[in-house]
Amino acid sequence: ASKAQGRNTWRSFSRDLGEQSKERLSLVTGLRHAIARNELSLAFQPILAANSLRIQGAEALLRWHPRSGPVSPALFVPIAEQSGAIVEIGRWVFEQTCSAQQRLAQAYPDSPPYLSLNLSAAQLNDEHIIDEFALILQRTGADTTRLLLELTETALFADVEKNLRILHALAELGMQVAVDDFGTGYSSLLQLLRLPVSQIKIDRAFVDGIEHREDARLIISAMVKMGHALGKRLIAEGVENEAQLFELQALKCDALQGFHLYRPMPEQALLEAIAENHRQPPCNASRVYYLI
Ligand code: C2E
Ligand code: MG
Ligand code: MG
Ligand code: MG
């Protein structure tokens, strides 16, 4: 019996693996055609000034909706990175974000909101990225000073020497660079000083539970103090409730992003959200909180 069971276990194990790699292969193939098939889109999640809660910009987040139904970026982005498809998809994301930024600037000429987008490490390996981005900036008429490139800590610090040159070239085009998911990788503060990074995005793992946990507050407080001492702006991600919002305001974060404030939305909804937010700026929640 034990022999039969062992065989059964082995058989189902191997079938699962086979199924997994088949599914993965179909995602790889699907991603290769995603642009041509018009299956990609961007969602925009507003980013707010921490004190005034005024929308300052938004993060462009990639969405993939093949005929079989939408796939989470947490699943398809790593596959696109491993298969190399991310280079072409990333170019598409950059062009779409630039066009959207140009439309936002037309809608809000007095205070054009900025747009941030995510870059993969693989895109920094591609020597042509500088020329291609410069051309796209020209073609779309985007305001380079209103674009922010987000790179994860892991991507940035994987090969600082190599990234330095290309990041400086991107920064020279006028764009700002942010470290994404800060605190989750292996950042070296010394290396952070050498990179042309102006903003730090605190990963939502640190925000999670901040309202109950003194140690979580201490860590964020230390990140903010260090970041400010280095002249960086601090953006907290993953604000999911009002208590977290109050804590992050009290901890002197510069900007906030999270489901409690706004969910990612289509471009048209973003335009409406900004209009509404700027017409009626939300009251300063932290001041109210500290008076009571
Ligand atoms: P990220 O760059 O850290 O983006 C933030 C993610 O957190 C987004 O997930 C967003 O929807 C989610 N989020 C925002 N606020 C909250 C909150 O309050 N609670 C929770 N639980 N989640 C929140 P999304 O859109 O699923 O993207 C996941 C990741 O996929 C991104 O993480 C980024 O690393 C990657 N990604 C997305 N778009 C692109 C892209 O165009 N290019 C590349 N290379 N990567 C992308
Ligand atoms: Mg990001
Ligand atoms: Mg992030
Ligand atoms: Mg993240």
Q: Whose CA is nearest to atom 33 of ligand 1?
A: 118
- C-alpha 256/C-alpha 52 separation (Å) is 11
Structure tokens at 50: 């921490």
State the ipTM, two decimals: 0.98
For 150, the 3-state DSSP assignment is strand
CA of 287 to the centre of ligand 2 (A): 29
User: For the segment 51-66, what is each residue's pLDDT rounded down to a tens digit?
Assistant: 999 999 999 999 999 9
CA of 182 to the centre of ligand 4 (A): 9
Q: Whose CA is nearest to atom 3 of ligand 1?
A: 181
- Which pLDDT score is estimated for 20? 80
Which residue has tokens 């507003």? 46
User: For the segment 90-122, what is each residue's pLDDT rounded down to a tens digit?
Assistant: 999 999 999 999 999 999 999 999 999 999 999
Ligand nearest to the CA of 73: 1
Residue pair 129/166 in contact (Cβ under 8 Å)? The answer is yes
Q: Whose CA is nearest to atom 2 of ligand 1?
A: 118
For 89, the 3-state DSSP assignment is helix
Residues with CB under 5 A from ligand 3 (ion): 180-181, 237
Residues with CB under 5 A from ligand 4 (ion): 181
- Which pLDDT score is estimated for 91? 97
Structure tokens at 255: 């900007």
The long-range contacts involving 23-32, CB below 8 angstroms and separated by at least 24 positions, are 24/79, 27/71, 27/75, 27/76, 27/79, 28/79, 28/83, 28/85, 30/66, 31/64, 31/76, 31/79, 31/80, 31/83, 31/85, 31/89, 32/83, 32/85
User: For the segment 224-254, what is each residue's pLDDT rounded down to a tens digit?
Assistant: 999 999 999 999 999 999 999 999 999 999 9
